[in-house]
């Protein structure tokens, strides 16, 4: 079977887009297995995940994402910006504001264009942060998971405990504030926190260095994908955690390895907004 695809990236977080609005591909393959195959950077196209475009009965379109390991997260902020750009520039929708059905609920991206009607950047209403531990999910007796201690066995001379603030933006995030982000071993730290027993569905992990009250530096370990250059939901979770810990304002610029994001927590409506770029890489077809 031959399928057409488009590869896109948001701050270096890259995705393979597949249009399956007629469910023709779904009927002939398993998307989890397909993600593992296509995302391989040696034997496939190479990406952090695949994103499936589906019709929606309740919104404009349905968004489904599968990580490179075949797991299915609820949402992806960088992927959503690419999703909006893809729909608009392929004239699948004419409105600049799009209602998208995700496993995390309704997400509303808005595209901003240049004089040639090409998408320059996308602002996404990411909805309300989830702070109730049972809904994240995260195991704790506290009503909100701020400055939670995670304990580990002494492995490879790493810390026996780390302090995290836990929040969900449709998917779980453990946020750590550190003094020197350059000194962090993202893989070793991220992997053991991702799989800690207090996260029943595992977790994404964000390492944050505070530059000043409106500027953060972030590195990320993504659940199911490993270390990536950027994570949109993670940037939103980092802002919320930073504000709750009185480390930053409710609007910040976040420097990720793949580029910068502007993130704001609107305290009046409790929604988090994320603004950043999305780029086309290439299109093609592949036999599966």
Catalytic residues: 76, 231
| Residue 209 to residues 53, 156, 258, Cα–Cα distance (Å) | 36, 24, 16
Inter-residue contact 74 to 80 (CB < 8 Å): no
Give CA–CA dist 274/6, Å, rounded: 23
Alpha-carbon gap, residue 20 to 26, rounded angstroms: 7
Strand 172-177 vs strand 161-168: parallel, antiparallel, or unpaired?
A: antiparallel
């Amino acid at each position: 079977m031959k399928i057409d695809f488009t590869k896109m990236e948001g701050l270096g977080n890259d995705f393979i887009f597949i249009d399956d609005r007629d469910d023709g591909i779904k009927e002939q393959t398993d998307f989890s297995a397909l993600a593992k195959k296509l995302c391989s950077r040696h034997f496939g196209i190479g990406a952090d995940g695949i994103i499936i475009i589906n019709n929606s009965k309740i919104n404009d379109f349905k968004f489904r994402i599968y990580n490179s390991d075949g797991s299915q997260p609820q949402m992806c902020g960088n992927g959503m910006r690419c999703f909006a750009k893809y729909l608009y520039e392929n004239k699948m929708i004419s409105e600049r504001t799009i209602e998208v059905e995700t496993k995390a609920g309704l997400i509303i991206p808005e595209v901003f264009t240049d004089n040639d009607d090409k998408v320059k950047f996308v602002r996404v209403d990411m909805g309300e942060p989830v702070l109730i531990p049972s809904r994240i999910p995260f195991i704790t007796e506290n009503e909100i998971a701020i400055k939670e201690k995670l304990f580990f066995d002494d492995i490879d001379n790493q810390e026996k405990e780390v302090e995290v603030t836990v929040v969900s933006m449709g998917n779980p995030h453990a946020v750590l504030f550190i003094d020197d982000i350059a000194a962090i071993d993202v893989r070793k730290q991220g992997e053991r926190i991702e799989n800690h027993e207090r996260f029943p569905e595992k977790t994404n992990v964000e390492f944050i260095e505070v530059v000043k009250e409106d500027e953060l530096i972030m590195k990320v370990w993504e659940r199911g994908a490993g270390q990536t250059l950027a994570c949109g939901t993670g940037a939103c979770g980092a802002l919320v955690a930073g504000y709750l810990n009185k480390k930053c304002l409710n609007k910040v610029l976040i420097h990720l390895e793949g580029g910068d994001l502007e993130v704001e927590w609107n305290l009046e409506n409790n929604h988090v907004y994320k603004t950043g770029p999305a780029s086309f890489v290439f299109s093609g077809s592949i036999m599966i």
